[in-house]
């Protein structure tokens, strides 16, 4: 009996660089694909400043186009339209796997910032009202409310 094994690893990391810059890095590796992206975001206005991608292993001739195509996301905001824009405007012209990696990376960034701010708030006030914290968070970042779809 032959047993087929398939393994995929996806890793996403978020770095805070100064008060208003975030860098999120994503890596996807499996038997067919190997790629990475790095997205610089201005956190004050949640706008993508720069996108760099790298295709190491891919299956179609369109995939390497991701390296140029995905740079077009510069200036896009983290909002409820972002996932669709990445998939339709970038994924269709470049690589759909890179598009999904980028969507996951941007969502991870938004979640990481929510978690970071919650941790800081809990350190200051261990009896913090979680509902009030979320209301305050989304008042500061109204464009993330629909993006994160938490409520």
For residue range 41-86, what is the model confidence (pLDDT) as tens digits? 999 999 999 999 999 988 888 888 888 899 999 999 999 999 999 9
Asked if residue 95 is part of any domain, the answer here is yes
Residue 100 lies in a domain: yes
pLDDT of res. 11: 97
In a domain, 118, yes or no: no
Angle between helices 96-124 and 130-140 (to 10 degrees): 120
- Is 27 a member of any domain? yes
Domain annotation covers residue 119: no
Question: Average per-residue pLDDT in the chain?
Answer: 92
Q: Is residue 114 part of a domain?
A: no
By residue range, what is the domain housing residue 81? 9-106
Q: Confirm whether 140 is domain-assigned.
A: no
Per the structure, the count of domains in the chain is 1
């Amino acid at each position: 009996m032959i047993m087929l094994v398939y393994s995929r690893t996806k890793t996403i990391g978020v770095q805070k660089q100064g008060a208003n810059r975030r860098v999120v890095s994503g890596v996807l590796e499996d038997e067919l694909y190997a790629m990475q992206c790095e997205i610089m975001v201005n956190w004050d206005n949640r706008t993508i400043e720069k996108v760099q991608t790298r295709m190491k292993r891919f299956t179609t001739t369109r995939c390497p186009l991701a390296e140029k195509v995905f740079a077009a996301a510069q200036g896009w905001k983290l909002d409820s339209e972002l996932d669709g824009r990445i998939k339709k405007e970038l994924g269709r012209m470049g690589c759909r796997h890179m598009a999904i990696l980028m969507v996951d990376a941007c969502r991870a960034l938004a979640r990481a910032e929510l978690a970071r701010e919650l941790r800081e708030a809990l350190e200051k006030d261990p009896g913090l009202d979680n509902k009030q914290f979320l209301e305050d968070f989304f008042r500061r970042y109204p464009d993330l409310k629909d993006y994160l779809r938490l409520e």
